[in-house]
Homo-oligomer: A and B are copies of this chain.
Amino acid sequence: MGGPVGGERPDEPAPAVSGRDTKALKVHRASRPEGTRVRAGAVEIGGPGFVVMAGPCAVEGSEQVERAAAAVASAGAHVLRGGVFKPRTSPYAFQGMGEPGLHVLAEAGRRHGMPIISEVMEPAQLPLMEESTDILQVGARNMQNYSLLRALGKARKPVLLKRGLSATLQEWLLAAEYILDGGNEQVMLCERGIRTFETELRNTLDLAAVAWAKQRSHLPVIVDPSHATGVPELILPMSLAAAAAGADGLLIEVHPRPEQAMCDGHQALTPERFQTLMRRLPAVLGAVDRHLWRPDGPAQVARAR
């Protein structure tokens, strides 16, 4: 049985989806009507349990990661995030700690019992990343890096595919199709805001894209409200909205001291704000027949379904 579809209850008939694409794709819901469930360590994504991935934008050192990991773990996050290879607009910006950072992240993940997710930027990094991470993240700028997508089709770890800054919905699904077509069926889509004329916020979070993707595709859909808004004050309401829209999880930047972050500190939540978010999520999830994911599975959370 798959997770709910775009705000619909599981016991209601799946909505008829109109569309302009006629060619059947592996990524389409018709290819797997029950929905795909992705496994990262013990965590399952795409079922009724809602998964929260949290941590710093960039791994900066072991103390920072440990503090972030401890904070998000105690607040109830399921997956630890942290970038070690950082795609940066300027060649002179901090480019990430690289391999040493990966070990720091992996250790923190083990210590706190959380699988880890980190970004892979090129095929050459794959052997290392496959060995050390639990989820391979593809950044928005690489969504149509087809060489990378092809390589990920052969990877043995799940992939979280961020939507490109100006990728259409069809292009997003077709990018996922590259990975599925290569043989890797453990793919998640991630909406992280698109680039529009609006400049007040960092990007424009497209939650209709989430509901659309849930209807059109069988892949789990994750929302990244940190990059989407770039403003800590909006991450709580957008996380609740994502849950209500039918997302399967969140990817959130949390930093023990945002004002000292080497990367995107302006949009990171403090541990306190993240705790508030985790306290507020269950009520909205319950309203759409979901719940925060738990190791003991959905049995205990039975809502008589």
Contacts and interface: CB of A to CB of B under 8 A. Distances in A.
A215 interface: yes
A207 B144 contact: no
B287 A174 contact: no
B123 A170 contact: no
Interface stretch (A33-41, A192-200, A291-299): A192-200
Interface stretch (A49-57, A225-233, A252-260): A225-233
Contact of A284 (B92, B234, B284): B284
A124 B148 CA distance: 11
Contact of A237 (B7, B144, B196): B7
A129 to B, nearest CB: 13
A301 to B, nearest CB: 15
Interface stretch (A15-23, A61-69, A73-81, A106-114): A15-23
A226 to B, nearest CB: 12
A127 interface: no
A225 to B, nearest CB: 8
A168 B244 contact: no
A201 B302 CA distance: 35
Interface string A270-286: 00000010001001101
A254 to B, nearest CB: 17
Interface string A82-102: 000001111110000000000
A243 interface: yes
A265 interface: no
A155 interface: no
A18 to B, nearest CB: 7
Interface of A: 6-8, 12, 15-18, 20, 23, 87-92, 121-124, 141-142, 144-148, 165-166, 168-171, 174, 177-178, 181, 194-201, 204-212, 214-215, 228-229, 231, 233-234, 236-238, 240-246, 276, 280, 283-284, 286-288, 305
Given A87-B146, A124-B124, A240-B244, 10 more contacts: A16-B233, A91-B174, A91-B177, A91-B178, A122-B122, A122-B147, A168-B200, A196-B197, A199-B199, A211-B241
21 contacts: A7-B238, A18-B233, A90-B177, A121-B146, A123-B124, A141-B144, A141-B146, A168-B197, A168-B198, A194-B197, A194-B204, A195-B197, A205-B208, A207-B241, A208-B234, A211-B237, A240-B287, A241-B245, A283-B286, A284-B287, A287-B287
